[in-house]
Amino acid sequence: AVVSAVISGSVNTSIASIPTMMEVVGEYEYSHKDLIGHGAFAVVFKGRHRHHRQSVAIKSITKKNLQRSQNLLGKEIKILSELTQLHHDHVVALLDCKDTQTHVFLVMEYCNGGDLADYLQSKGTLSEDTIRLFFKQIAGAMKALNAKGIVHRDLKPQNILLCHENPNPMATEIKLKIADFGFARFLEDGVMA
């Protein structure tokens, strides 16, 4: 009845009137309309905890895309798990990992400020104080990674995310977080990364 009413035009079909279908991943949920990014092997959605409503990022990786890169995913999960135990302020935390028949879901800390590449493009130039502040945060994260024997191998502005509480934050209110550990490796004695 609803389908025929929609086809005949007798029902208001505005997006606001259509309920959003939420996908469930363990204790978390997301909607496909809340896409925040995509890469070669995955898409990332903004989601939330089902009870606490805490915002999260949910990386959805289709297993059929993983046949060649299954090894990379296993390493990323192992490295993120190691870093989650570290609880470092400048490394994106892995909150949960779910493996289904068709997908792997990585539930991660949500960073609300986009990435450093977009920030740099919007600001044009940065003051020396801002550059110093940002480098100090990145260096702290790199030191923590090094202490765990981890090499990121893909550190670039697109993989450095920004978190802040104010809509138009000053540089001192921005926290940088290193993300996307898909190419990271554990260092082994005598082996180059």
Give the chain's mean pLDDT: 84
To 10 degrees, the CA torsion angle through 29, 77, 176, 116?
-90
- Select the highest-mean-pLDDT range: 38-47, 90-99, 133-142, 144-153: 133-142
* Domains of the chain: residue spans and CATH: 22-109 (3.30.200.20), 114-186 (1.10.510.10)
Average pLDDT over residues 104-110: 92
Per the annotation, where are the binding residues? Answer: 59
- What's the one-letter identity of residue 101? Q
Average pLDDT over residues 144-168: 94
Question: Whole-angstrom Cα distance, residue 88 to residue 86?
Answer: 6
Helix, strand, coil % over all residues of the chain, rounded to 5: 35, 30, 35
Banded pLDDT at 59 (limits 50, 70, 90)? very high
Residues belonging to the active site: 154
The predicted structure's pLDDT at residue 9: 44
The predicted structure's pLDDT at residue 19: 59
Banded pLDDT at 14 (limits 50, 70, 90)? very low
Closest of 79, 82, 123, 110 to residue 175, by C-alpha: 110
The predicted structure's pLDDT at residue 70: 66
Banded pLDDT at 1 (limits 50, 70, 90)? very low
Per the annotation, where are the binding residues for ATP? Answer: 59
To 10 degrees, the CA torsion angle through 133, 126, 159, 188?
-50
